[in-house]
Amino acid sequence: MKMRLSTKGITICLFFFVLSLAAAIEIPLSVAQLPTITEQSHTQVAYPFDEDFTIKCEARGNPQPTFNWTKDGKPFDLLSDPRIVATNNSGTFVIQNRGIITNFQGKYRCFASNVLGTAMSEEIELIVPSVPKFPKEKIEPLDVEHGDSVILHCNPPKGIPPLHIYWMNIDLQHIPQDERVSMSLKGDLYFANVEENDSRSDYCCFAAFPRLRTIVQKMPMTLKVSRSNFIKERKPRLLIPPESAGSSSSVTVIKGGVLLLECIAEGLPTPHLNWVKITGNLPKDEPETENFGKILKIDHVTTADEGTYQCTASNPMGRAKHEFHVHVEEPPQWIKKPQGGVYSVGTNLVLLCEAIGNPEPTIQWKLNGMPIDTPDTVWVFAGRTFRGRISAREISLTNLQLQDSAVYQCEASNKHGTILASANVNVLNIAPLILTSDGENYAAVVGYSAFLHCEIFASPAADIRWTKDDSIEPLSTLRYELNKNGTLEIKETKKEDSGSYACWAANSVGKRAITANLDIRDATKLVVTPKNPRVLKSHSILLKCQAEYDSHLKHSFKLSWRKDGDELPVNSTESGRVILDRDTLFISSVTQEDQGVYMCVARTSLDSVMAESWLIVLDVPDPPEDLQLSENQNRSVRLSWKAGASHNSPVNESIIEFEENRWEPGRWQELTRVLGNDTTALLSLAPYMNYQFRVLSVNAVGKSQPSKPSLRYATPPAAPDKNPENIRVEASEPNEMVMKWEPLKPMERNGPGLEYKVSWRQQGVEVDWNEEMVKKHSLTLRNTPTFVPYEIKVQAVNNLGSGPEPNITIGYSGEDVPDAAPSGVSVDIVNSTLVKVFWFGIPRDRVRGHLRGYKVSWWKTKSMLDGKRHHPEKHFLTFVGDRNYGMIPGLEPFSEFRLTVLAYNSKGDGPESSSVVFETPEGVPEQPRFLRILNFDKDSVTLSWGLPKKPNGYLTGYILQYQMINETHEIGPLSDVSVTNRSTLSWRLSGLSSSTKYKFYVKACTVKGCGKPVTEEGLTMAQGSKGIGKISEAVKPTQKFHPIEVLEPGTEYTVRLVTKNWVDNNSIFEDVIETRGRAYAGIYDGISTQGWFIGLMCAIALLTLLLLTICFVRRNKGGKYSVKEKEDLHPDPEAQSIKDEIFGEYSDSDEKPLKGSLQSINGDIKATESADSLVDYGEGEHGMFNEDGSFIGAYSGSKEKGSVESTGSSTATFPLHA
C-alpha cells in the first residue's frame, strides 16, 4: 500500500501541476474581467507652435470600460469645450490649439470603469506656457568709481526650462568673464571690482528657451566707471549668499540630481574662491567647480553627499566664509507594489504596499479609484461588503466571492512626488479554457527537445495531463516534463516519439482536451574543412562547410558564416578580398585581422547547428620593444628587450645589429645572434666605439622589422688588439719595393691616432731592423737591389699603445725582365698540323723575378707545294710555369716554319732564342670548291668540280661517290668511282636509273688520304623531259649581293637563302625567277629599235584595229619578269647590308647528312688527332686555348664561290661548305 502511494505521489509530482493562473497567463479577453490601464500620457507641454495636444488614456476589460476624467481633482467634462475632440471607446482626447488655451493647464486623471470595477491612471500634468518677455523698462545708467563692486540684474522672464542666459553687447559679442566678472546661476552679472575699461552702454542680457524656440533680450544697460581719487582696497564680502543670509544656510537636493552651491564675492584685489567639505563623508576626489571656482557642482547626488560645505573668498586684505548645510531628499520609490491576479471563490489574498522616500511617503489605499481607510474586518463600500483588514502597508481579504472583484490602488506621496500602483483582483469560477488550437502539428529533430503546447486558463486551477496515441495513461518517463504553462517537453527526442498526443485539463467546474501531432526529423550535421588551418599572411584560404540535413527541411535550410560571433555579409566584402558563396568562404591576401574563429551556421525550421574552425594567421614577429642596457663594462654591455607579438609562430632567433657614428654612421651591421626566445644578451664590444643597438626577431615565417634603436653606448679607447694582415710586396720598377697591407677596420682601431710601424731588413744580409711610422697602408722603398728577399713586419700603434708583436713576412724587391734566352730548342713533328717543341729553361738567377712561364713564337716562311715565300706572320702560344716543352697546333700542312722560345716574368719578356726551322708533312686536302651537274640524261649524268683551295700536298686524284635517295631520306647503296688523274675535273656517270633522285659526293686525295666531300643532288630525266639539278654556293656573311652564273636562258629557277646548320630547313629568303630566252630577247630588242619595223607598222595601219591594239600592248609590255623580280635581281645595297648584319652567316639546309649515309660518306675521312694531353698546348694570340689549356678554336681556310651550268631547272642555294 505504501508502495502504491509512493508511486502515485511521484507521478503526481512529475506530471500533474496545480497552475496558479494569477501570475501565469493573461486573462483571455473573452472572460469577464476588471479594467486595466494599458496606455497613458505623462507630463506634457502645450507648445505654442503645435497644432494640437493629445492626452492619452487606453484601457482593456470585459465588459468594455467607459472613461471619465478629473482635472485638478474635480470632474472634467470632455464636452465642455468645442476644442476638445474625444475618441469613441477610448479615454484619449485631443485639445486643438485655437484661441487662449491657458485654462486647459492643470493635472488630469483618467478613470476606466465597468460593472466589475474602476481603474485609475497616474496624474497627467498639462503645462501651457506663456511666451516669455522682458518687461519694457527704462534702466538708469550706473555711475561708479574704479574699484567699486557692481551687480547688473537680468531678472529673466519665466518659461519652460531649460533656461540659458548670455551677457553680450549690441554686436552680439560675449562679455568676457573671469574671476573678477562672472554671471550667477540666476543670470545676474557680478563685478567684484570695476575697472575703467568696463565702461560701456550696451550690456545686454539674453534669455534663451530652447524648448520654446525663443530668445528674448533685455534692454541695454549702461555702466560708467570713473577714476577714483584713492585705491579702494578691501577684504572680500560675499554677495551670494547675501550677508542677510547669515554665516550659513540650508540647501535641499533631490537624490540622483545635481547639487549646485554658489558663492560670489566682491573685494579689491579680486577675491579667490575655495571650497571644502567640513562635515559628513569626505569626497574621494576634489569637488568639481565651475564659473571660475564660484560654483561647486556634484552630479548624481547620493546620501553620502550630505554634510556641510564651506566656501571661502580670500584676498590679501582678508577673507569671508559661508557654510551650506546640504540635505539629500528623494521622491517616493516602491519597495513592494500590490500584485493582482485571478483568484478562485473562497480563497484569501494579501496586497502589500511599501515605499521609501525622504521625507517618508504617506500611503493611501483606494478601491476602484475611491479612497478607503477603515480598520474594520468587515466593511461596506459602494454597496458591496468586503471581509478583511486594511492597514497602511497591506490589505488582507478572506473568503473571496465573485462579487469581490475590484481594482485596488496604492498611492505613495511626499513633497517631491506621488507614485501609483494598481492591483486587479479578479475572482472567477470557470471551467478550463484551452487557448491552444486543437490538432496542431509539431516537428522536431532527433536529439533535440520537442515542445507541445497546451495553454490553459481556468479558475479554480486545472489539473493537466498528456497521453500518447490510444493510451489513456499519462506520460510518465523522465524524458517527459510538464511545464507550468501546460507545455509538454519531450527531451532528447527519438524517431519513435512521432505520433498523436492529447492534452487533458480539468477542474471542479469542468474539463477540456485537445490533440497534437508530432513528427521527428533527422538532425542537421555540419563539418567545416580544413579544421583550424594555419595560413601565412598574404596567402589565401578556402573554408568549406559540408552539411547533411533532412529532406523535409530542404526549403527552410539556410547557411551563414560568422567570425568571432559576428555574422559575415553574404555579398563579398573589402573589394572582393573576402568572398562568401553559400557553403564556401574564400579569403585572399590574409591579414592579421582575419584571424579568429569562423563558424558555419546551418538553420532549418526545426534546428540550428554550428561548426567552427579557428583560422590561425602566421606572420613575422612584431619588432622587439623597450631596449635596455645594463651591466656596463669597457668591452661589454648587456642588452635586454621585450619581444613583440610572435603571430602564432614562436621566435626561434634574435638578431642583434649595431650602428656606430664615429666611423660608419647610419650603417647597421650584424653583431650577434641569440637562439631561442631569450630576450637578453651580453654583447662583446670593441674599444673606442659609440654604439647603438637594435634587435630583429626571427620565427619560421621570417624576420621582423628592426626595433627602435637603443640609447647610445660609448666604449673607452685601448691599444690595438691585432696587427694588419695580408702583408705583400708589389713593385713597378726593378730597384723599388712597395710594401702593402690590409688596413685595420674601424672596429679594430681601438683608439685615436692609429699609425703603422713598418720594420724591414734584407734576409741573410742585415741584422738590424729598419723602421718607419706611416699612417697609410703602404710604404715604398727605393734603390733596392733587384729581386732580393726581405723580412717585413707591420705593427698597429695608436695613442694608447702598440698592438701585439707582429709576425715576419718574406717579400721580394722589384723585378726586371729575364736577361737570358732558352737554349737547346728542338721540334718533333707529330702530324701535318701539330708539332712538339722542347727547350732548356734559363737559370733561376737569370730570371730576375718570379718566372711566369715560356712563350713560343712561330711563323710560316714558305709552302713546300709551290716553293713560294710568305710574308712572316707571327703567332705565339704561352706556356705557364717552369716547363721545357709544349704543343703547337693549327699549323698548315706541307709548309716550312721558323720557331723561337723566350722566358717571361711579371715584368715582361726576356730575349728570344735562336730560331729553329722545321717542315710540316703533307696532309689531306680541303673539299673541292664546287660540284655541279652539267648534263642529265635518263640514265647518265655529267659532273664537274673545282680544285680544293688548299690541297695540303700533291693531289693523287679524286674519289667520286653516288647513291639513290628519295623524299623520305631513305637511301640506296653507295657506289665509288676512283679518278686517278689529278687533272681530271669532270666525269660522266652512266648506268643510272631514269626519273631517280641521286646524291653525288666528290673528295680530293693526297698520299695522306682524302678530304671532306662536296655534295650535290639531282634527278635523272624521264623519257622526253629535262633533268633537275641543284647548285649550292657559299655566301659570306658580309656580302651585300652574289652573282649566279651559267644559268640556262629561258628557264625558271628557285632562289633560296638559308643559314648554315639550320635543322628546320626554313629559308630566310626565297623567290622564283625566270631567265630571259636568248632568241626572244634578240627579237624584242631588234623590233623595238629597227626603222623597217616602224615603216611596216605604218603600212599596215589600216588593217584591223584589233591587230594594232595587240601590237601596241606588246611594244609596251617591257619584259616577262615583274617589278618584284627586278628588285630581287638588283637589290638595294643598303637594304642588303642591313640583312647581312641581322642574319650573319648562312648555310645550305640540304647539306645535312641523309639517314644512313653518315658512315659511308665519312668512313674514309679520318681526322688528324694527337694523343698528347691538352696541357701541352699553350695560350695563343688567336684565343685557341683557355687558360687551362682547353682547345677553343682552329684555323680554317677562306670560302670561295663556284660556277656551273645546268641543262635543266635548278634550285640555287648559298651554303658555307664545311
pLDDT tens across 777-822, in order?
A: 999 998 888 888 999 999 999 999 999 999 999 988 888 899 999 9
- Please, which residues bridge with residue 62 across strands? 33
Predicted pLDDT of residue 1094: 62
pTM to 2 decimal places: 0.48
Candidates 655, 581, 571; CA nearest to 621 is 655
Q: How far apart are CA 946 and CA 1076, in angstroms?
A: 28
Number of neighbouring beta carbons within 10 Å of residue 416: 16
Cell numbers 546661476 correspond to: 185
CA dist., res. 794 & res. 804, Å (int): 10
Give the H/E segment covering residue 1078. Answer: helix 1078-1089
Closest of 989, 976, 928, 933 to residue 955, by C-alpha: 928
Calculate ∠ Cα 635-636-640, nearest 5°: 160
Instruction: Dump strand ranges (E) for 483-540.
Output: 488-490, 499-506, 511-521, 525-529, 534-536
How many residues does the structure list for the chain?
1218
- Are 860 and 872 contacting, i.e. CB atoms less than 8 angstroms apart? yes
Highest mean pLDDT pick, 674-678, 1157-1161, 1190-1194: 674-678
At 297-319, the pLDDT tens digits run 999 999 888 999 999 999 999 99
Span 903-916, average pLDDT? 92
Q: Comparing 226 with 1081, which gets the higher pLDDT?
A: 226
Q: How confident is the model at residue 711 (pLDDT cuts 50, 70, 90)?
A: very high
When pLDDT is averaged across residues 629-652 and rounded to a whole number, the result is 94
d(CA 877, CA 875): 7
Q: Is residue 630 pLDDT above 60, yes or no?
A: yes
Q: Residue 23's pLDDT is what?
A: 42
* 740 in Cβ contact with 778 (< 8 Å): yes
For the record, the C-alpha cell of 1188 comes out as: 687551362
Quick one: pLDDT at residue 13? 32
pLDDT digits (tens, 9 = 90+) for 352-403: 999 999 999 999 998 888 888 766 666 666 666 777 788 888 888 888 888 8
The percent of residues above 90 in pLDDT, for the chain, comes to 56
Contact 460, 402 (CB under 8 A): no
Mean pLDDT throughout 693-711? 95
Q: Residue 412 in 3-state DSSP?
A: strand
pLDDT class of 944 with cuts at 50, 70, 90: very high
Residue in 696, 694, 748 with CA at minimum distance from that of residue 720:
748
Q: How would residue 663 be classed by pLDDT, with cut points 50, 70 and 90?
A: confident
Measured CA angle at 1116 (ends 1113, 1117), to 5 deg: 80
CA 233 – CA 270 distance, rounded (Å)? 10
What are residue 95's DSSP bridge partners? Answer: 53, 84
CA 136 centroid distance within chain:
71
Average pLDDT value over all residues in the chain: 82
